[in-house]
Structure 1
Amino acid sequence: MLQPRYLSVVLSFFISGVTTAFISFLPSSDLTILVISFISCFIFGSILIYFALDYLVFQEVNQLYDRIKQIKKKDFSITPRKQLVEKTNPIELLKKELNTYVTSKEDEVFELKKAAKYRQEFLADVSHELKTPIFAAQGFVHTLLDNPDEDVEIRSKFLEKAAKSLDGLDNLVQDLLTVSQIETGAIKIEKKKMNLRALVEEIFEQVEAKARKRGVTLTLEAPAIPVYVKADMLRISQVILNLVVNGIKYGKENGSVTVLLTEKKKVVQISVIDNGPGIASEHLHRIFERFYRIDKSRAKNSGGTGLGLSIVKHIVQAHNGKITVHSAENKGTTFEFKLEKA
């Protein structure tokens, strides 16, 4: 491929020759005029053509070539999208489109890296969560196998502990399946008219024993009449039950958990409020992540799988809603989401 300087010389030579040939037909032309015309056209033509080719074509094309090489090397560190401006030059437009394409690929690579990191963390968390109950059950069972003549009472105690570990493992697997099925759409949300007030009262009855054990007062603040919403009763029951149980388990002893139903124009807002120790600000943006625990030792003792709030988030999202949390240390916690009025 010719360089700009050589190409400009060749083009200027032909242009000068053609120009001189036309001037030679003029009656007043002589050899001196023809030579001066040729040399002038050649010099100025070379300079103009060189700068035109170099600055308007070759440099732009070379930049495009450099960007293509960056794509091949998977190096997406080029001009940010915000620095791109509209151009009328077709080469500049081509550069803009290429920059936009590469920037979009950069975003895709970032998301893929983020997803890969998330998968690694998820696999590590799952492995850890599965390992604990499995090892516990194995330990109890192998102890019994190694001591077949052990006292009946001790054997029963070991079997009960092994069964408890396996029950915890079953709960974990069921929660994982639920999250996966909601994410992939395998679980269909069937919205029907339901009485939200009656559902909360039923949930309070289910958790009454747990609340009494910790001295927690359960309160429903809602209109005296039925509060109807359009939702999947089974799934919304999971959401409210999970939030109320969390308030009982992680709130303070002799505290309170309140479910507040607020009717608005087109929706009903559900708020689950406790007066517990609250959640520090650095944890708030992560509490809906799978297996994320604020106090891991305390959560382990409570017997949770670490998937409850993740399931809550996915169920609310499947109802085209969003769950939010408001909390501060020593000031309690409030979870809020909205459902469509029926």
Structure 2
Amino acid sequence: MSLSPRFIAFVLAFLISAITTSFLTFVQDVTRSMLFVTCVSSFVGSFFLVLYTIEIIVYREVNKMYRTIHKLKLKDFNISRKVLIRESNPLKRLNDEIFVYVAKKQKEIEELKKLEQFRREFLADVSHELKTPIFAAQGFIHTLIDGAIDDEKVRDRFLKKAAKSLDGLDALVKDLVTLSQMETGAIKMNLDRVNLRVLTEDILDRLEKIAQDRNVTLKIKPDKLTEVWVKADAMRIEQVMINLIENAIKYNNDGGKVIIHFDEDKKSYAVSVRDNGPGIPPEHLTRIFERFYRVEKSRSKERGGTGLGLAIVKHILNGHGSTIAVKSQVEKGTTFTFKLEKTDEF
């Protein structure tokens, strides 16, 4: 219950006049008229005195607190001086505002700490990822400079390995630039009508050799849905589909299956890429879209990739106003799902 200064003054004045009048009743020769006058005068005098005292003390302190707040960042507070003065209980209102302000600043501090931790981890990861191909290429080239270049077989083999390391470095730098541009909003999505079914079939043709090497079967379902018209940036969605399908092939079991499924509803198409591979342990599911995060670092290195693919996929889909979800069971497989807005075909 909020107590206004007038209510407090009324109660205190009533108590003072009641006590004063009660004491006077014990004095001899005191008439009722005198008691009435004493009661009224003490009540009125006490009421205005207490009210004045409370308002002077309270509002003086309120003004001091307001000036202190003003020195901070006034726009963080949802209250003006006029509103504050008109409040029946300004101290309570001010206390509530300060509590909200402190909670907000505490949250900002926690976010800054998380960002600082993320920055340190990111710098460590980038340093590690850059160091590996650079040192490898450096080792091969210095070996050639030290005399191995005269041996034709050694020269060709080392040059191929150095080139492979530099190609990996080039892919990593390109992915880092792409991811950075997406996060800063430098890359805009050029949305257009895209037949996702045709685009996916083209991607499967390009990835057929990788799938055959691992005896992985690729399938698009349902067969009757021959056209999947969506509103999307064709180049970026192609990048998403390539990444998800290629990962499903690489991290699948030999002889496994990869199914791309389109599910139509009233306003959108749900796209899922499912494999029946080893799956992802539950403790990793919340982190697989982080930069450079790998479930099994040794296996991931062997299979190639920069470790930025899923982070890029997430940002591309965010740029389309969509999100990506993942479900996985160990030894049963993994499914990635996202939605895209439908659009009329040509």
Q: TM-score, normalised by structure 2?
A: 0.75
8 A contact 1:64–1:95 mirrored in 2? no
Cα drift, residue 64 of structure 1: 6.3
Which residue identity is paired with 1:142? Answer: H
The 3 A distance-change label for structure 1 pair 89 and 185 is same
- Name the CA distance, whole Å, in 2 between partners of 1:231 and 1:338: 11
Amino acid at match of 1:151: D
C-alpha distance in 2 between matches for 1:262 and 1:197: 12
Identity %: 55
SS at match of 1:219: strand
User: For the residues of structure 1 that align with 2:281 and 2:65, how far apart are their CA atoms?
Assistant: 50
Aligned-partner SS, 1:270 = strand
The Cα of 1:111 is off from its aligned counterpart by 1.1
Residue number in structure 1 paired with 2:323: 322
Aligned residues of 2:148 and 2:154 also touching (Cα < 8 A): no
Looking at structure 2, the residues matched to 88 and 123 of structure 1 have their Cα atoms a distance apart, in angstroms, of 54
What SS class does the counterpart of residue 295 from structure 2 fall into?
Answer: coil
SS at match of 1:265: coil
Contact conserved, 1:280 with 1:329, CA < 8 A, in 2? yes
Residue of structure 2 equivalent to 1:144: 144
Q: Secondary structure at the match of 2:258?
A: strand
The ranges of structure 1 where at least 4 consecutive aligned residues each deviate by more than 6 angstroms after the TM superposition are: none
Q: What residue in structure 2 maps to residue 272 of structure 1? A: 273
Q: CA deviation at 1:88?
A: 4.3
Equivalent residue runs for 1:166-245 within 5 Å: 166-222=166-222, 223-245=224-246
Give the corresponding residue for 2:161.
161
Extract unaligned runs of 5+ from structure 2.
Answer: 1-28, 73-86
Is the 2:149–2:155 contact (alpha carbons within 8 Å) kept by the matching residues of 1? no
The CA RMSD measured in Å over matched residues stands at 3.0
- Structure 1 pair 149–247 and aligned structure 2 pair: CA distance change class (3 A): closer
- 1:199-241 CA-to-partner distances (Å, cap 9, x unmatched) read 1100000100000000000000033431111101110011011
Q: 5 Å matches for 1:44-193?
A: 57=58, 88-147=88-147, 150-193=150-193
**Partner SS for 1:225:** coil
Counterpart Cα distance in 2 of 1:337 and 1:285: 16
Match in the other structure for 1:83: none
By how many angstroms is 1:149 displaced? 5.4
Query: How many angstroms does 1:160 deviate by?
Result: 0.6
Instruction: Tell me, in whole angstroms, the C-alpha distance in 2 between the residues paired with 1:198 and 1:148.
Output: 50
Measured in 1, the distance between the counterparts of 2:100 and 2:154 equals 70
Moved more, 96-105 or 232-241: 96-105
TM-score using structure 1 length: 0.76
* Structure 1 residue 246 corresponds to structure 2 residue 256: no
Gapped runs of 5+ residues in structure 1?
1-27, 72-86
Q: Contact 1:262 / 1:270 at 8 angstroms: preserved in 2?
A: yes
CA apart distance, 1:108 = 1.1
Amino acid at match of 1:254: G
Cα contact 1:221–1:261 (8 A) shared by 2: yes
Aligned mates of 2:291, 2:284 — CA distance in 1: 13
- Aligned residues between the structures: 286
Tell whether 2:288 aligns with 1:287.
yes
Q: Which amino acid aligns with 1:106?
A: Q
SS in 2 for 1:190: coil
